[in-house]
Amino acid sequence: VFANIAKAPEDPILGVTVAYNKDSSPIKLNLGVGAYRTEEGKPLVLNVVRRAEQLLVNDPSRVKEYLPITGLADFNKLSAKLIFGADSPAIQENRVATVQCLSGTGSLRVGAEFLAKHYHQNSIYIPQPTWGNHPKVFTMAGLSPKYYRYYDPETRGLNFQGLLEDLSSAPSGAIVLLHACAHNPTGVDPTVEQWEQIRQLIRSKGLLPFFDSAYQGFASGSLDADAQSVRIFVADGGECLAAQSYAKNMGLYGERVGALSIVCRTADVASRVESQLKLVIRPMYSNPPIHGASIVATILKDRDMYNEWTIELKAMADRIISMRQQLFDALRDRGTPGDWSHIIKQIGMFTFTGLNTEQVAFMTKEYHIYMTSDGRISMAGLSSRTVPHLADAIHAAVTR
């Protein structure tokens, strides 16, 4: 019965790793997927995560019972505090419904399913470009993605005017997907002043902001600074949604830990929203896994472990920032034509190099360097040892 099924293409991002794994060259380099690597090119488990896991393993009261549909209660409270700030009025007034979900992707999907069922508008405006999975997640949930201008290839910066124009002409009530920080793939974020203008426009048009926060702490090294965009919106008392992921900032990729929060106008509304979120979640996967959320809750509620986490997080962010400088210097030393200052201006895990599909293909074929075809490279996959190889490849690609 399945004989006529067509073979589906590889995922544009995860497929890069598939191609990389097939390459037997000793100099191959995977800059595709956004996963942190050490200077030695190895995946990293944070010390504080190991410590939390030890505590969990040695605690005989820990069992493997099902969590509630909404997940681990402590985890949900602490996650809301982390993104909105401990003194957020929305939290103090009990106006936030938070549910534990399957990392960032699962949080986006549960939020989208909820909106498709309970919100009057199904248009969701997403930035052009955006993380490749966004349009798929929203479409599968029954929302209808539209693009707003975001990136200006000329300046390799924000197309702020285009963004304002496109959101101004969005229909009233439309949902707007915003990257909380470290925009993927461009590494270009609005300034605080620009966020304030975006907020005013969104509120004046009655649009509904949906934040995707996959990199809190990873952009600047500061958890508070990277949540500022979200907090600017929550401070005005209006509604918003936020999807959080602990994949990058705690290195819990495969544990699939995340949270969806819906900020409401009153505690009563939030409690009804939560009751409906349960109806969304139950038929999808019943309830979320316990282990990763327990790690996060253990770290977030202990002052000492929390501090240790912020230090390790800052070290990851700083290593990425130093890779930006090293790559920029290496291109300058080679006299590579073009202005490469965007490499040090962009923030977060990725550099949107400006290299075109052909140049990317050339670098893969001749230099065994793997990246997405839009020219996005994961800075976290680079090290001092591999920067010269990448710089040689970029130089060759742009001068050939």
Binding footprint of ligand PMP on the chain (CB under 6 A)? 34, 103-105, 131, 179, 184, 212, 214, 245, 247, 258
Cβ at position 254, least distance to ligand PMP in Å: 9
Per the annotation, the verdict on 152 as an active-site residue is no
Cβ at position 258, least distance to ligand PMP in Å: 5
End-to-end distance of the chain based on CA atoms, in angstroms? 50
The helix/strand/coil state of 123 is strand
Cβ at position 137, least distance to ligand PMP in Å: 9
Cβ at position 103, least distance to ligand PMP in Å: 3
Strands (E), 201-256: 208-213, 240-245
Nearer to ligand PMP, 233 or 253 (CB): 253
Per the annotation, the verdict on 195 as an active-site residue is no
Question: What Rg, from alpha-carbon coordinates, does the chain have?
Answer: 21
Q: What is the CB-side half-sphere exposure of residue 255 using CA atoms within 13 A?
A: 22
Cβ at position 233, least distance to ligand PMP in Å: 18
| Residue 79 structure tokens | 């996650």
Per the annotation, the verdict on 339 as an active-site residue is no
Q: How far apart are CA 208 and CA 125, in angstroms?
A: 10
How far from 72 is each of 75, 129, 215, 322, CA to CA, in Å?
A: 5, 34, 22, 37
Nearer to ligand PMP, 98 or 359 (CB): 98
Q: What is the CB-side half-sphere exposure of residue 253 using CA atoms within 13 A?
A: 11
Active-site option among 248, 309, 340, 392:
248
Say if CB 144 and CB 124 are below 8 A apart: yes
Q: Which residues pair with 96 in a beta bridge?
A: 263
Nearer to ligand PMP, 221 or 348 (CB): 348
Nearer to ligand PMP, 95 or 256 (CB): 256
Nearer to ligand PMP, 131 or 233 (CB): 131
| Residue 236 structure tokens | 């005005």
The helix/strand/coil state of 24 is coil
Strands 257-263 and 96-102, sheet pairing = antiparallel
Enzyme catalytic residues: 131, 212, 248
